[in-house]
Chains A and B, each alone.
Chain A
Amino acid sequence: MAGAFDFTAAVPLLPFAAFLIALLVGHFAPRLLPKGGAIPGILATAGSLLLSAWLALTVSQGTYHTETIYTWVVGQNTFDLHFGVLVDPLSAMMLVIVSLVAFLVHVFSLGYMNDEGETGLPRYYAGLGLFTFSMLAFVVADNLLMAFMFFELVGLCSYLLIGFHFREAGPPSAAKKAFLVTRFGDYFFLIGVVGVLATFGTSRFLAVSEGVESFPHLAEQALLAAQGEGATPEHVAGFLDVVGFEPQTWFAILGLLILGGVIGKSAQFPLHTWLPDAMEGPTPVSALIHAATMVAAGVYLVARMYGFYALLPTVLAIIALVGGFTALFAATMGVVKDELKQVLAYSTISQYGYMMLGLGAGGYIAATFHLMTHAFFKALLFLGAGSVIIAMHHNEDMWDMGGLKEKMPVTYYTFLSGSLALAGIVPFAGFWSKDEVLYEALIYGSGESPILLAGYAMGLLAVFFTGFYTFRMVFLTFHGDARTDTAESPHGVGWNVKFPLVVLGVLAATVGLINMTPVAKLTGEHIEFLKDWLAGPQGSAYANIGYEHYHHLLVDFAGYGANESLGVLVPAAVSLGLALAGAGLAWRLYSVPEPVEHTEKLGGIKTVLYNNYYQDEYQVWLAEGVTLPLARAADTFDQGIIDGVVNGVSSVSLFAGGRIKRIQDGIVTHYAALLTLSLVALLVAFGLLGGWF
């Protein structure tokens, strides 16, 4: 009987088909394309969503699946490179999230793009289809090389979609920046992939059977051997001989290299600068990029190969610190932004920082949980912002809004649900997951790995800023009096906008309930459903990609130990208190009929924050102030010196030829004189050499 797993490949391929239809029919017979390609896209993503749900259901019964779909390269006397699928709890969950958000974004696009009379719709829907395809294929990838390939394709799609309005000056520039900055991260990632292949001879995430190994497992064996247990796998030992590193060091280098790609795509410091610019893309695209694709890809990758990272305490600490710092750093910038989508952009960077903090702090479940809740509430917030933008005739400045609450209640209440989740107010989704991330950082930090406490402190402080900027945004947009004529009589929005908002609004309010760790700890009830979901089965090959195994690796290899004496109530109350304090401050300052800017009170800090800590400036300087002059200098050198030598050689031979040519002047007496002179010279030479004298 055909089971769900037989259709795994169809999950990504359906949106790919939608891409082809939008591209080809859109080019050759645009009239035949219903709604500019939206209908094929909606049908395809709906199909992917149903199949993903079916897969998740099958996985929930404890049966997992992996198979090779297509062998890209059949290695002769070397390893193969292949495309394969891996369906386990993590990827099944992510498939559902991605296809759900993609589906809702397609529906929303009907309202945002079609109803607003945009041109170039087939190109838009082709881009969305390819984007969804790439992300879904990335999620099901069973090896690192395949993951890299689709990771890069996701980057291409972001380029195409951010630059959708290519006739304007801004979007193409933002698109270029997004691709270039993430490419810079991917450079390190690709070195990591190649390094993994060369070191282990495989880049599989999961060892499926005897002789078919996975790289995290080989790394584990090599590290065990270094501790004196068992032998280093032959291939790995050979390679380590070549590079001359200890396994621990070399694996840490590989882990950090791959992390480069993660930092680029997940917009972590210092490669976060592309993300706020990416707001130039149409708003539904922003929702897709920020909630479920592209940016999520980085964090997902760390979770996917957690069996490798859990072996490397140094790398984990770096992940946690980068994450914690990014969470705080981005949150402070979000405080002063005037445009709705800009606030959301910085909140995305900040929230992904939390996920990184969670992963680095050993909170695999917490981070995955936050990845899920964030996907829903951030998609919701972006789509809500899109709805506001439609209503405001594409004006995004929050100071031109105000009082939209009464005029668009559906948008308001769903947006509020998302905001409560983002700020981390109980019982909305974000509270549970963010709290768990911080809790993990705290217990491991106060346990055996004190460096994590630094990450915890930064993450905790960021909670306050998050509460503040979230509610500043809500109050400025929806509360008080309308500050412009547009806000007075906003444009209405249709069902295709409201439907996705309602679905996500409900999810943002409720999805946190699937893993209420504090409640479980307090009551002893067995309600941590996500934890059970990700635990992984005992005794099967899949156990190596389950939470239980990761936990064991963290304890044995990374030396993580939890401080069990801490209760759950106090840390949760502290973070909730900070979130409420932030929200309360926003309420004091901005929930008034006619709010004014308070940023002046920040003094010099305001300028720094407005300019995003001059991060863009120094990166532009690196490109235009360092690299470009260097390239021009190289060009001058090339034209002057290298080509100069070449032309010099030719001039010398031309010159010499010209001079020698003069000997043949056609005067016989000169020839005779030359002959005689040469003969004498020759005779003298012979005489000297032959010893005649």
Chain B
Amino acid sequence: MLIEALIAVTFVSAVAVMLAPDKIAGKLAFALSLLPVAGSLWMFGQYDASGNALFEAGTLAFETTAKWITVGPYALNWHVGVDGISMPLVVLSTVLTSLAILSAWTPIQERQSQFYSLMLFMLASLLGVFTALDFFVWFVFWEFVLVPMYFLIGIWGGPRRKYAAIKFFVYTNVASLVMFIGFVALVFALDVNSFDMIAVTSALANDSFATTYGLGAETLKVVAFFAMFFGFAVKVPTVPLHTWLPDAHVQAPTPASVMLAGVLLKMGTYAMLRFNFTMLPGVARDYAVLIAIFAVVSVIYGAMLALAQQDLKRIVAYSSVSSMGYVILGLVAYNVYGLGGATFQMVAHGLISGLMFMCVGVIYNVAHTRMVGDLSGIADKMPVTAAVFVAAAFGYMGLPLMAGFAGEVFIFIGGFQATFPYAQLFTAVAMFGIVVVAGYLLFAMQRVLFGPFSADTDYDIVPAASHDTFAIVVLVLLVIVLGTAPEVFYGMIQDAVNPMVDSFPEATAVLTGGEL
């Protein structure tokens, strides 16, 4: 019942904050957000699962099943639980929400109780997304997440907030629809009587089709795979489906950007991992080259776009496209380091991109501009912020002993071990992203942070508020801890991805494993 309690507490907190007066809403929301943080950390401490949530062989942690409704022959059940893939993401969601709330204290000055309430409501939905094991429960939470984000951008956003919010909502919702049709069509064709993800996985593994709409099992799988892939790729986002992202980020207030880049994008790759790659590994294998092309193009093209930007927030937004491309590369590699690295990178990138957006937000709070050309040498006036910015930027570049390096190097190892055609070449090309990312971040830092001080703004450049500094310092420390001790999460992640690798030996057959 722990997961239910966690979601319920978060939801009740959201309601409580909604009713609280604006004056105390921020502090109350932060205090209440510590409850899910504590809860998720306690879960993490008590975590005792092994194996993957979608395979019957393993055990799940905190699993509960309850009858919900029956539709025709289909039983829709409340079914939640966590495994090594979802547990780190649950912790990431709670921690990042808490810090994002802290980062809202300075910039959010209007309709505060609604703002913080939506943040907590979003967290409750996210927890549902990462723990649900029945498709319908999962889908309800999946859609729920969009609502608060729509309002966060649409109400508290920048000048073009309406355009950005609607674009975000319509784009991702249409994608969800395609994905929904793809998955439901697949389940209707299978010989199962529920939408339970475990049941669907095993039915697909056994190829127990009741009908295939006259398409043939293989074609149906391919169609369903790409319908779902399209739906999730928009969320990730993968080039060329990414253009909603920079608009959403640039218009969104800082805390919403933190959540969007830090957690919401991971929903896409998480769902790809669960649905596309766990349920239909054969299709993923057959189309590995195509998927790898998407991944590599996302990495390089996304990084090139970041290089062309003048707005710090746009730089970070495009660089997310680039970093998420690595996750897809790891998934398609389909071995322990690839899949595990992809999962680890979700957490690592969640922390680091959240951190980068917060740093940019801290500068924006003070300077009221984010344009690279408007600022110069502000390290002189904001030394601590500048120091954290440098640390964050190097984290983003994949500096060893920081979380991003661990995630990336696991993915690269996985990519090199992958056995689909030209896997090594794809990996090597994608790796060039580490040079481009260094390019645009170093250029931005040189111009904004260093050199003689000047600021083309009407505001005084003064050190950041202490709660802002606190939030970014905590995140930097977390990034360093995860980078020096990736085992904190990586052990359970490997537990959860190994059954996937075992279930599909074709991807690794040529290589013998074993300690050397």
A: which residues have CB within 8 A of B?
71-80, 145, 148-150, 152-153, 156, 160, 163, 166-169, 171-173, 175-176, 179-180, 183-184, 187, 190-191, 194-195, 197-198, 200-202, 211-213, 234-235, 238-239, 241-243, 623, 627-628, 630-632, 634-635, 638, 642-643, 646, 650
Residue B416 CB within 8 A of the other chain: yes
> A634: which of B308, B335, B434, B452 is its contact (CB, 8 Å)?
B308
Q: How far is the CA of A243 from the CA of B412 in the complex (A)?
A: 15
Residue B188 CB within 8 A of the other chain: no
Residue B244 CB within 8 A of the other chain: yes
**Given A73-B486, A643-B243, also A176-B400 (CB < 8 A):** no
| Most chain A Cβ neighbours within 10 Å, of B167, B427, B431, B435 | B435
Interface residues in B428-453 (C-beta closer than 8 Å to A): 428, 431-432, 434-435, 438-439, 442-443, 445-446, 449-453
Q: Are B449 and A166 in contact (CB-based, < 8 A)? A: yes
Q: How far is the CA of A78 from the CA of B502 in the complex (A)?
A: 12
Q: Are B486 and A200 in contact (CB-based, < 8 A)? A: no
* B386-401 to A contact mask, C-beta < 8 Å, 1/0: 0000100010010111
Closest chain B residue to A163, Cβ basis = B450
Q: Nearest 8 CB-CB pairs, A to B?
A: A149-B400, A172-B450, A198-B416, A201-B516, A635-B308, A631-B307, A643-B243, A631-B308
| Most chain A Cβ neighbours within 10 Å, of B400, B412, B494 | B400
CB of B308, distance to nearest CB on chain A (Å):
4
Q: Are A235 and B435 in contact (CB-based, < 8 A)? A: no
CB of B120, distance to nearest CB on chain A (Å):
31
Q: Are A153 and B431 in contact (CB-based, < 8 A)? A: no
Complex contacts, B400 vs chain A, CB 8 Å:
148-150, 152-153
Q: Are B435 and A168 in contact (CB-based, < 8 A)? A: no
Identify 28 residue pairs between A and B in the complex whose beta-carbon atoms are under 8 Å apart, listed by A's number: A72-B487, A74-B487, A160-B390, A166-B377, A166-B449, A166-B450, A166-B451, A172-B446, A172-B450, A180-B435, A180-B439, A190-B412, A191-B412, A194-B416, A194-B431, A198-B416, A198-B424, A201-B514, A202-B516, A212-B516, A213-B516, A239-B511, A241-B510, A242-B423, A243-B424, A628-B307, A638-B243, A646-B171
Residue B380 CB within 8 A of the other chain: yes
CB of B106, distance to nearest CB on chain A (Å):
22
**Given A153-B401, A638-B305, also A235-B514 (CB < 8 A):** yes
Q: How far is the CA of A184 from the CA of B243 in the complex (A)?
A: 29
**Given A74-B491, A163-B450, A627-B439, also A187-B431 (CB < 8 A):** yes
Interface residues in B469-508 (C-beta closer than 8 Å to A): 484, 486-487, 490-491, 494-495, 498, 501
CB of B447, distance to nearest CB on chain A (Å):
9
**Given A176-B442, A194-B409, also A187-B435 (CB < 8 A):** yes
**Given A167-B451, A631-B307, also A75-B417 (CB < 8 A):** no
> B336: which of A72, A77, A630, A638 is its contact (CB, 8 Å)?
A77
Residue B458 CB within 8 A of the other chain: no
> A152: which of B399, B410, B416, B494 is its contact (CB, 8 Å)?
B399
Complex contacts, A632 vs chain B, CB 8 Å:
308
Q: Are B439 and A168 in contact (CB-based, < 8 A)? A: no
Extra contacts besides A171-B450, A239-B511 (18): CB < 8 Å: A76-B495, A149-B401, A163-B450, A166-B450, A168-B452, A176-B443, A180-B435, A180-B439, A180-B442, A183-B434, A194-B409, A198-B417, A234-B512, A235-B514, A242-B419, A628-B308, A631-B308, A642-B242
| Most chain B Cβ neighbours within 10 Å, of A78, A176, A628, A632 | A78
Complex contacts, B416 vs chain A, CB 8 Å:
194-195, 197-198
Q: Are A75 and B494 in contact (CB-based, < 8 A)? A: yes
Q: Are B336 and A634 in contact (CB-based, < 8 A)? A: no
CB of B310, distance to nearest CB on chain A (Å):
10
Q: How far is the CA of A78 from the CA of B453 in the complex (A)?
A: 51
| Number of residue pairs spanning A and B whose beta carbons lie under 8 angstroms apart | 171
Q: How far is the CA of A156 from the CA of B417 in the complex (A)?
A: 29
CB of B27, distance to nearest CB on chain A (Å):
26
Complex contacts, B214 vs chain A, CB 8 Å:
none
> B304: which of A183, A187, A238, A634 is its contact (CB, 8 Å)?
A634
Closest chain B residue to A632, Cβ basis = B308
CB of B489, distance to nearest CB on chain A (Å):
11
Q: How far is the CA of A242 from the CA of B511 in the complex (A)?
A: 8
CB of A507, distance to nearest CB on chain B (Å):
33
Closest chain A residue to B494, Cβ basis = A76
Complex contacts, B510 vs chain A, CB 8 Å:
238, 241-242
Residue B326 CB within 8 A of the other chain: no
CB of A190, distance to nearest CB on chain B (Å):
6
Q: How far is the CA of A234 from the CA of B515 in the complex (A)?
A: 12
B: which residues have CB within 8 A of A?
167, 170-171, 239-240, 242-244, 301, 304-305, 307-309, 335-337, 377, 379-380, 390, 394, 397, 399-401, 405-406, 409-410, 412-413, 415-417, 419, 423-424, 427-428, 431-432, 434-435, 438-439, 442-443, 445-446, 449-453, 484, 486-487, 490-491, 494-495, 498, 501, 510-516
| Most chain A Cβ neighbours within 10 Å, of B336, B377, B379, B438 | B438
Q: Are B486 and A72 in contact (CB-based, < 8 A)? A: yes
Complex contacts, A235 vs chain B, CB 8 Å:
511-512, 514, 516
Q: Are A166 and B434 in contact (CB-based, < 8 A)? A: no
Complex contacts, B453 vs chain A, CB 8 Å:
167
CB of B513, distance to nearest CB on chain A (Å):
5
Q: How far is the CA of A197 from the CA of B424 in the complex (A)?
A: 13
Closest chain A residue to B513, Cβ basis = A77
> A149: which of B239, B379, B405, B413 is its contact (CB, 8 Å)?
B405
Q: How far is the CA of A190 from the CA of B423 in the complex (A)?
A: 16
Complex contacts, B336 vs chain A, CB 8 Å:
75-78
> A627: which of B307, B412, B415, B442 is its contact (CB, 8 Å)?
B307
Q: How far is the CA of A187 from the CA of B299 in the complex (A)?
A: 15
Complex contacts, A628 vs chain B, CB 8 Å:
307-308
Q: How far is the CA of A655 from the CA of B320 in the complex (A)?
A: 33
Q: How far is the CA of A172 from the CA of B451 in the complex (A)?
A: 7
Complex contacts, A197 vs chain B, CB 8 Å:
413, 416
Q: How far is the CA of A638 from the CA of B428 in the complex (A)?
A: 24
CB of B435, distance to nearest CB on chain A (Å):
5
> B451: which of A169, A179, A643 is its contact (CB, 8 Å)?
A169
CB of B61, distance to nearest CB on chain A (Å):
18
Q: Are B495 and A630 in contact (CB-based, < 8 A)? A: no
Complex contacts, B427 vs chain A, CB 8 Å:
191, 194
Q: How far is the CA of A187 from the CA of B424 in the complex (A)?
A: 14
Complex contacts, A76 vs chain B, CB 8 Å:
336, 491, 494-495, 498
Complex contacts, A175 vs chain B, CB 8 Å:
446
Closest chain B residue to A641, Cβ basis = B240
| Most chain B Cβ neighbours within 10 Å, of A212, A234, A632, A638 | A638
Complex contacts, A200 vs chain B, CB 8 Å:
516
Q: Are B511 and A194 in contact (CB-based, < 8 A)? A: no
CB of A192, distance to nearest CB on chain B (Å):
10
CB of B321, distance to nearest CB on chain A (Å):
10
Q: Are A73 and B487 in contact (CB-based, < 8 A)? A: yes
Closest chain A residue to B422, Cβ basis = A243
CB of A198, distance to nearest CB on chain B (Å):
4
Q: How far is the CA of A129 from the CA of B239 in the complex (A)?
A: 43
CB of B476, distance to nearest CB on chain A (Å):
12
Q: Are A634 and B305 in contact (CB-based, < 8 A)? A: yes
Complex contacts, A643 vs chain B, CB 8 Å:
243
Q: How far is the CA of A202 from the CA of B510 in the complex (A)?
A: 18
Q: How far is the CA of A648 from the CA of B424 in the complex (A)?
A: 38
Q: How far is the CA of A341 from the CA of B516 in the complex (A)?
A: 48
Q: How far is the CA of A489 from the CA of B468 in the complex (A)?
A: 52
Complex contacts, B301 vs chain A, CB 8 Å:
634, 638
| Most chain A Cβ neighbours within 10 Å, of B401, B412, B416 | B416
Q: Are A642 and B240 in contact (CB-based, < 8 A)? A: yes
Closest chain A residue to B412, Cβ basis = A194
Closest chain A residue to B439, Cβ basis = A180
Complex contacts, B428 vs chain A, CB 8 Å:
191
Q: Are B243 and A642 in contact (CB-based, < 8 A)? A: yes
**Given A176-B443, A195-B416, A242-B419, also A79-B515 (CB < 8 A):** yes
Complex contacts, A145 vs chain B, CB 8 Å:
409
